[in-house]
């Protein structure tokens, strides 16, 4: 096989792989279109703010490797994470901010890995929340609600503690110390 034929073959394989990834991402975005991030305006006092937190992904609780393609939380990147007295604002660079009212928070937790990131034990901070339109949204402990986790890599353990403490102050349900704890 000549070099030209080999280069064309490899180019075609690469194009097919990229096309497959593109179609799969579009299908995921269509699947998750029904999952609406909360849209309530927040105006409370700032409890804690992290101007450059590393946003990892949002997944359903119990499925750490099933990334959700939710508007405002689709892509991994740096985010400004702010906990207010009435909710949480997640502003991923290049995305529209997601505002989660305190009534829709379900505490926080830690984990060692999520889709797209693996770190040391308890190295990721998770914020648990219920999207708009979920059964039982806004009612702590309601059965049938779909709880999601948004994962962040913060600069150090002190920031993780500050985030968990701030979430505990405003969340209607208690936080867990580690992934999988109930």
The correct CATH number of 46-170 out of 2.60.120.260, 2.30.29.30, 2.40.50.140, 3.30.530.20 is 2.30.29.30
> pLDDT tens digits for 4-38?
999 999 999 999 999 998 888 788 777 777 777 77
Confidence (pLDDT) at 74: 87
Selection from 165, 37, 25, 33 nearest residue 91 by Cα: 37
pTM for this predicted structure: 0.77
- Cα–Cα distances in Å, from 55 out to 12, 46, 77, 153? 34, 20, 5, 7
Give the pair of three-digit tokens for residue 33: 């279109």
> pLDDT tens digits for 55-89?
999 999 988 988 888 888 888 999 999 999 999 99
Beta strands (DSSP E) in 67-129 are 77-84, 87-92, 98-101, 105-111, 113-114, 117-118, 124-129
Stretch 79-106: mean pLDDT, rounded? 92
What size, in residues, is the chain? 182
Question: Domain ranges in the chain?
Answer: 3-34, 46-170
Query: 5: part of which helix (H) or strand (E)?
Result: helix 3-31
């Amino acid at each position: 096989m000549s070099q030209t034929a080999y280069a064309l073959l490899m180019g075609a394989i690469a194009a097919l792989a990229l096309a497959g990834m593109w179609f799969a991402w579009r299908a995921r975005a269509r699947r998750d279109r029904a999952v609406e991030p909360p849209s309530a305006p927040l105006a409370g006092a700032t409890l804690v703010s992290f101007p450059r937190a590393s946003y990892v992904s949002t997944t359903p609780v119990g499925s750490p490797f099933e990334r959700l393609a939710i508007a405002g939380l689709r892509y991994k990147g740096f985010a400004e994470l702010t906990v207010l007295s009435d909710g949480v604002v997640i502003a991923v660079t290049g995305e529209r901010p997601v505002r989660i009212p305190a009534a829709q928070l379900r505490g926080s937790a830690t984990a060692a890995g999520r889709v797209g990131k693996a770190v040391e034990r308890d190295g990721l901070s998770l914020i648990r929340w219920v999207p708009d339109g979920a059964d039982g949204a806004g009612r702590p402990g309601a059965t049938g609600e779909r709880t999601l986790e948004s994962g962040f890599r913060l600069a150090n353990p002190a920031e993780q503690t500050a985030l968990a403490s701030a979430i505990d102050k405003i969340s209607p349900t208690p936080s867990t110390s580690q992934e999988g704890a109930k």
